[in-house]
Amino acid sequence: MTLANVIEWLVKGLVWVLILLGGFAYLTYYERRALARIQVRVGPNRAGPWGLLQPIADAIKLIFKEEFMPARADKLLFTLAPIITLTPALVITAVVPFGPESASFQLFGRTITWYIADLNVGVLYIMSIASIAVYGIVLAGWSSNNKYATLGGLRSTAQMLSYELALGLSFIAVIVLANSTRLLDIVEAQKGMWFAVLQPVGFVIFLIATLAEVNRAPFDMPEAEQELAAGYHSEYGGMKFALLFMAEYDKMIAICTIAASLFLGGYREPWFLRDTVLGVDQTPWLGPLYVFIKVFILLFGMIWVRATWPRIRYDRLMAFGWKILLPLSLALVFLTSIGMLLAEQVNPLYQWGIPLASLAAGFIAILGMYQTLRRKEYARA
């Protein structure tokens, strides 16, 4: 651990944080425009060309808003909570590689790689940071000294803990497929085929669980305005609110980056372009571009979901997490392991049994979902 090392990490970290901050601002713009299009509106188009300056206007508005502190709030935690919420969102992507080793470049005599940290337990790092992310919201809710806020915070705790299990198990399927917990290895292992194709159900579970983890629609129970005013951030305003807001959008970006790396081949080209000039092996600098495109598309998916699906009721949310997602993801771990074992020991073609078996298991889960979650006879008017 030399000084030069530390400086390199700091600079890389700073650059990434700045990207995330800018990304947050323009993600809000992206979301508003996309939502507007889906709802046959125009969306923000006044500030600057195509409304491009809108995020900056928003930022200025938020900065100059009055800082408000509820009278009997827990001052320290009330101030800390937005920071605690934001930090995991910023650091969780530290292990994600944005380009191949071959795209590294020389700067001041050092080889600069396209990742901040290369950790052999990268996936576990993501898991552990994701599990820490719960604190900010629950503390924000509790320290506001407001019943609605507390309830929102508690809801989010229960929800995030419940979906963390399915999330972690979907990670395990990836680890088994890649035979590594290092993100570089995982991305390289998708040279032949994306894991989203090999383990489609795992990918879907990952997407669902991450939606719940970042409290996005249709899992935005912690801030369900009909029941909880605005949930955990009811009492927040000004810059503190902006931080909470930023945390949510940065989490979206982080999650999509991780999803791209774990399931969509990260910085690797789509598998069918492997031997063309568009391949990362041939043109290394395309790597970061691929990541950006994948994240962009995944983000659109999240916005799309928000535009089209209503919020799920709380008891159904829990039932769905525990009674369907958890058993299904356990089954997937099992199926994936068996498939990999067969593929390694008998015939590589057996790995195609994994998606087939997973889809079958997913189908059974959907039947189960119908049984468990459908509206009961007595509830049908």
Applying CB under 8 A, the residues found at the interface with another protein are 1-2, 6, 74, 77, 118-121, 124-125, 127-132, 134-135, 138-139, 142, 150, 153-154, 157-158, 161, 164, 180-182, 185
In the complex, least distance from residue 331 CB atom to another protein, rounded to whole angstroms: 17
For residues 172 and 326, the answer to whether their CB atoms sit within 8 Å is no
In the complex, least distance from residue 179 CB atom to another protein, rounded to whole angstroms: 8
Closer to another protein by CB, 74 or 300: give it.
74
Tokens of 191: 């040279």
Closer to another protein by CB, 3 or 71: give it.
3
In the complex, least distance from residue 182 CB atom to another protein, rounded to whole angstroms: 6
Closer to another protein by CB, 121 or 359: give it.
121
Neighbouring residues of 3: CB distance < 8 A, sequence distance ≥ 6: none
**What is the spatial distance between Cα 350 and Cα 227, in angstroms, rounded to a whole number?**
50
Tokens of 215: 């409290």
Closer to another protein by CB, 242 or 258: give it.
258
In the complex, least distance from residue 285 CB atom to another protein, rounded to whole angstroms: 26
> How many CB atoms are closer than 10 A to CB 77?
14
Q: Which helix (H) or strand (E) holds 347?
A: none
The region, left, alpha or beta by phi > 0 then psi within -120 to 50, assigned to residue 126 is: alpha
Q: Where are the beta strands (DSSP E) in the chain?
A: 105-107, 110-112
Bridge partners, 107 (sequence order): 110
Closer to another protein by CB, 31 or 188: give it.
188
In the complex, least distance from residue 34 CB atom to another protein, rounded to whole angstroms: 33
The alpha carbon of residue 315 and the mean position of all alpha carbons in its chain are separated, in whole angstroms, by: 23
Radius of gyration of the chain (CA): 22
Bridge partners, 112 (sequence order): 105
Closer to another protein by CB, 127 or 303: give it.
127
In the complex, least distance from residue 131 CB atom to another protein, rounded to whole angstroms: 2
Tokens of 228: 């909880």
